[in-house]
Amino acid sequence: MLHPSTLKYLVNLQKNNNKPWFEKNRSTYEEAKTDFLFMVEKLIPAIEMFDPTIADQFAKNCIFRINRDVRFSKDKRPYKNNMAAYFNKAGKKGNGAGYYLHIEPGKSFAAAGIWMPEPADLAKMRQEIDYNLNDWKKIIAQPSFKKNFENGLDTSEMLSRPPKGYTDDNPALPFLKLKSFVIRHPVKDEEIVDKGFVKNVAKVFHAAYPLIGFLNTAID
């Protein structure tokens, strides 16, 4: 679980996203960061129970910086309004599919998969789905998968036409058109401060594990 003060800090940061306020409240930020880091430390071994590939990850290497890169953005707010962590066998900057936790009051979620992969990796995953469509369909039809990811795969980014090398009559086409393979599970604020939070997030990620394994097998 996270301490309620961590969520309160993020609410206040959203209202005061500027450097003077941040520096004035830096000690509160450090407390919130430590709280989040401690929770991530507990979550890693919980994920490792079903996905041993992340066993060597350290919490500090899984969490993202609070500072935003505003060099090429019209939005010049210097800080993110969230705390987030990504669990991947190669670290948060590694290739491949993994697990993502996003903590933002009123907008928190647990996600899994791979977002906008490199063209070569995307081609491998599409080929794996094409070759093993029945296995892919079984994964996303599992009761635990459907229960935790009610909206299924994110279809907000799709090709308008079949990718190169595939035809309009390919039965896997709805999946082959995807540019990312991402699933999400919404998380309520009251769940975040509940004592069972780490256990419950691990259950969500466990439901995503077959999909993660399928995608990473394709890439490897």
Looking at residue 114, its pLDDT comes to 96
- Under DSSP, the state recorded for 162 is P
H helical segments located in the chain? 4-15, 19-24, 26-48, 59-62, 119-131, 133-141, 143-148, 173-176, 189-192, 197-219
Give me the pLDDT at residue 108, please: 98
How far apart, in Å, are the Cα atoms of 104 and each of 96, 132, 134, 169, 194? 25, 37, 37, 42, 16
Supply the pLDDT for residue 94. Answer: 77
Residue with token string 């977002």: 115
Instruction: Tell me the domains of the chain and their CATH numbers.
Output: 4-219 (3.30.930)
Instruction: State the pLDDT at residue 93.
Output: 78
pTM of the predicted structure, to 2 decimals: 0.95
For residue 95, the model assigns a pLDDT of 81
Residue 52 is predicted with a pLDDT of: 95
pLDDT at 56: 87
| Residue 208 pLDDT | 98
Query: What are 38-94's pLDDT values in tens digits?
Result: 999 999 999 999 999 998 899 999 999 999 998 888 889 999 999 999 999 887 877
In the predicted model, residues of the chain with pLDDT beneath 70 are: none
